[in-house]
Structure 1
Amino acid sequence: MTTVGSPGRRRIDEIGDESRRRILDAAEELFAERGFDRTSFIDISERSGISRGSIPWHFKNKDGLMVAVVERAMDRFRESVRFDDALPELAEVFQDYAKWVRGGQPTLLFMMLTEALGSAGGVRAQYQEFFARSRKGLELWLRVQRPEGVDPAFAAKQERDFASAVHGAILGIHLGALIDPDGVDLDGSLRAMACLLGRNVADVWREQPAPAKVRAGAANKRNGTGSRKRRS
């Protein structure tokens, strides 16, 4: 009998991990090439060299496999974009994103988006988490540069809006580079966006609304309802 700590058990685990990796590699490639609906377990089996029956054993069903593909893509993204001791320049953050894109299947992100739009289950939830994590990194980048004296509630909303706008712009550049690679340079466009944002980042907090008491006083003054005495 083989025990949990024996070499035989470890070899079985290694075989299982290798099979799982090969299935995920094949599924990621095929999902990016053909889309989720047009990829079957038979296709994945042929591409991976793993028997068809092993796929549901590892991932239960096709949705489970898709979620695993998304999770692995998210893990790669988290590993590629990191905040170390020093705050990185936006150009460095965007460069990390470009490296992540090239490190996997460039079209996978938008295949995942298509599936998430038509699903209310695990795939959409995973994709929402992926987007949320991406935006949080941008919010953090902006937050550490927030000037003193800015209302926290106002600042939090501005940071969320900034992150959403930048995240959307990055996705747009990515999509443009996929559709028209001769017309859209991924690296060059990301550098240009980083340059524009870096020059104008202080404007994010300049539209801070006045405190409630100040606004009320200004309104009263305009309406002639202040505390000044009336003439007799």
Structure 2
Amino acid sequence: MTSTPRAGRRAETTQESRRLLITAATELFAERGYRQTTFEDIAARSGISRGSIPWHFGNKEGLLGAVVDHAVVRPLAGEPDTLDEALDTLVAFTRSPSTKLFATLVGEAVEPGSAPHKWYADLHESLRRRISTWLGRADLPADVNADELATVVLGAVVGIHMQWRIAPDAIDLNRTYDTLGAVLRSVGIT
């Protein structure tokens, strides 16, 4: 069975609506936070009807998941082959306007039971596992555990990102990540 031109256009319109809603929600969550952003705000910013949001995402938490996937998970999806590649990815990720979302929602994320709390916890766990797997390929000193080093690395990256978002003129992102690279090279990461 082949699809009709009308079905193809409908699918394109659906994807475009979804993209516009995710873009608007990303911007608004980054500007106002998750709790302070309403479906009405997202509809007004996106130009898509308010009723489309639950149709596409189920609820506000489903929309948050789509936003996180778009703004955080996908940009960090690739597996770097080298430390330099990983650091370049981190610099680009930190500079991305959509990652302001990551910094804005952290205040809400510290509250157990909040929607941002769950996705932050899940995201951090996933990132620690990925970093640990990557670090495990290196010849680490016997007293350095890959899982614990992954926590340290993620902590450094999150801290660098937060400091840069708060005072971008005070943080030289390239030099800071170069310094992180030098520290990791000192324990055998290449």
TM-score by length of 1: 0.72
Contact 1:142/1:159 (8 A) holds in 2: yes
Q: Which residue of 2 aligns with 1:40?
A: 38
Cα distance, 1:35 vs. partner? 0.9
Cα distance, 1:117 vs. partner? 2.4
Mapping of 1:20-169 within 5 angstroms? 20-79=18-77, 81-83=78-80, 87-89=81-83, 91-120=84-113, 123-146=116-139, 158-169=145-156
TM-score by length of 2: 0.86
Structure 2: 5+ residue stretches without partners: none
Structure showing greater relative contact order (alpha-carbon pairs closer than 8 Å, 6 or more residues apart): 2
CA distance in 2, matches of 1:104, 1:52: 25
1:33-77 deviation line (CA, Å, top 9, x unaligned):
111122111111111111122122212222221122112234423
CA distance in 2, matches of 1:179, 1:32: 13
CA distance in 1, matches of 2:161, 2:27: 18
Contact 2:33/2:104 (8 A) holds in 1: yes
Secondary structure of the equivalent of 1:125?
Answer: helix
2:185 to 194, 198, 203: 198
Structure 1: 5+ residue stretches without partners: 203-232
Contact 1:70/1:112 (8 A) holds in 2: no
Paired residues in the alignment total: 189
Question: Which one has a bigger Cα radius of gyration?
Answer: 1
1:165-198 deviation line (CA, Å, top 9, x unaligned):
1110111111111111121112211111111221
Residue identity opposite 1:142 in structure 2? L
Residue 177 (structure 2) pairs with residue 180 (structure 1):
no
Secondary structure of the equivalent of 2:171?
Answer: coil
Cα gap change, 1:64 to 1:113, in 2 (>3 Å): same
